[in-house]
Homo-oligomer: A and B are copies of this chain.
Amino acid sequence: MKKDDYLPRKILDVLKGVHGETPVSLHEPRFIGNEWEYLKDCLDSTYVSSVGKYVDTFESKLSEITQSKYAIAVVNGTAALHLALIIAGIKRGEEVLVPSLTFVATVNAISYCDATPHFVDADENHLGIDTKKLTTYLKDTTEIISGNCVNKMSGKIIRAIIPMHVFGHPSDIEGLLKIAKDFNLILIEDAAESIGSFYKNKHTGTFGLMGTLSFNGNKTITTGGGGAIITNDIKIAKLAKHLSTTAKIQHRWKFEHDEIGYNYRMPNINAALGCAQLEKLPFILKNKRALFEKYKKSFKDVSGIHLLCEPSYCSSNYWLNTLVFQDGFEVFLEDTLEITNKCGYMTRPIWTPIHLLKPYKHYPRMDLQSTEKLAKKIINIPSGLPLE
């Protein structure tokens, strides 16, 4: 092989061409709007904590953008998932279908409820749940007893399914809705990575009973740390707000709490940042798409890899641009990580599949061949807004 044909070098050259000067992070936030002004206003008002106008405004804006009737802002995406599962009534010992190819938080939230994650396989096209394969699996291994989907192996009820829209690409939502209906499963969408991503013009996270969002520092928009539950059900919305604010009953001065609640409300200062960020979301999405187009053009002639594209019926936020190494080229993945990071272009592999992690080795799972295969052939490349 000539030096010029060396795949990691070719990938590096594209990153150099697209980004120029280093270091280039994977995804750093950009504060180009009213962040400053809103934070100052927040300090001046002294309302920096869990009560304040920015939390309410942030929720309204989220609701508007996602076209879900209600949004409840919380401290982070993990808290949003945990709360969603509690509200969905997931009980100790019940099973919850979840992709193994996800960030660990999706699965941790299930553990917090003392429920059992039941791992399902990924689809190579969008990296979300392989609905075709899952349908066959559920037909073979479950039966409906008194309206509940029961795992014939474990004898336990499978109560819910939590798809995750990986790197911002919408999963096969219609397939998921059909599975949820056919097997009587509660659908909660982990849309942590997919604000601004639409499936046939409907925002991700709005198809199930609830959707959850994340605004961590590396996300499309950030609140420092933050998350939200979105839902169209007013009862769920009210309960989410109640439980996230220690289940305190509204009263002028009395401290009474009618349930075991949580301290999950997003502080006003984080919401202030979020309000400014959301105002720039259209601009950010436009520029992220432009970056993807740039990558598409630049990687066109690089053989051995392909750039992951949104499914044709979707609009992705392209949170993290993704290179998939073709069969036989996976051997170059480690070297690519090494050389690009060394040269100041931050790249990373996809997550280690959760069923391979120590705390999750002994949980039920279907065949996870695609997941294990994909885990060895995917890297993310710098995807933040260009600085100019």
Interface segment, A13-21, A38-46, A228-236, A364-372? A38-46
Q: How many residues of A contact B (CB 8 A)?
A: 65
Tell whether A135 is near chain B: CB-to-CB under 8 Å.
Answer: no
Tell whether A64 is near chain B: CB-to-CB under 8 Å.
Answer: no
In the complex, the chain B residue whose C-beta lies closest to that of A263 is B78
- Report A16-56 CB contacts with B as 1/0, cut-off 8 Å: 00000000000011110001100110010011111100000
B224 touches A268 (CB 8 A): yes
Chain B residues with CB under 8 Å of A347's CB are 253
Taken together as a complex, chains A and B put the C-alpha atoms of A48 and B40 apart, in Å, by 15
Tell whether A8 is near chain B: CB-to-CB under 8 Å.
Answer: no
Min distance, Cβ A183 to any Cβ of chain B, angstroms: 27
Taken together as a complex, chains A and B put the C-alpha atoms of A322 and B262 apart, in Å, by 27
A267 touches B224 (CB 8 A): yes
Tell whether A357 is near chain B: CB-to-CB under 8 Å.
Answer: yes
B49 touches A225 (CB 8 A): yes
Chain B residues with CB under 8 Å of A108's CB are 246, 260-263
Taken together as a complex, chains A and B put the C-alpha atoms of A43 and B43 apart, in Å, by 15
Given A78-B262, A79-B263, A357-B258, decide whether A341 and B46 contact each other with a Cβ distance below 8 A: no
Taking a contact as CB atoms closer than 8 A, the residue among B29, B76, B78, B104 that contacts A48 in the complex is: B29
Chain B residues with CB under 8 Å of A75's CB are 75-76, 225
Within 8 A of B (CB), among A212-235: 216-218, 222, 224-225
Tell whether A297 is near chain B: CB-to-CB under 8 Å.
Answer: no
Tell whether A320 is near chain B: CB-to-CB under 8 Å.
Answer: no
In the complex, the chain B residue whose C-beta lies closest to that of A28 is B46
Min distance, Cβ A385 to any Cβ of chain B, angstroms: 11
Within 8 A of B (CB), among A243-283: 246-248, 252-263, 265-270, 273
Chain B residues with CB under 8 Å of A261's CB are 104, 108
Taking a contact as CB atoms closer than 8 A, the residue among B78, B256, B259, B269 that contacts A352 in the complex is: B256
Taken together as a complex, chains A and B put the C-alpha atoms of A105 and B248 apart, in Å, by 11
B260 touches A111 (CB 8 A): yes
Known: A35-B43, A79-B263, A255-B349. 8 other contacts (CB 8 A): A31-B43, A48-B222, A78-B263, A224-B270, A225-B263, A247-B359, A253-B349, A254-B349
Which residues of A does B touch, CB under 8 Å?
28-31, 35-36, 39-40, 43, 46-51, 75-79, 103-105, 108, 111, 114, 216-218, 222, 224-225, 246-248, 252-263, 265-270, 273, 337, 341, 347-352, 357-359
14 A–B contacts, CB within 8 A, in A order: A35-B43, A48-B217, A51-B217, A104-B246, A104-B261, A114-B114, A225-B263, A225-B266, A253-B347, A253-B349, A254-B349, A257-B358, A267-B270, A270-B270
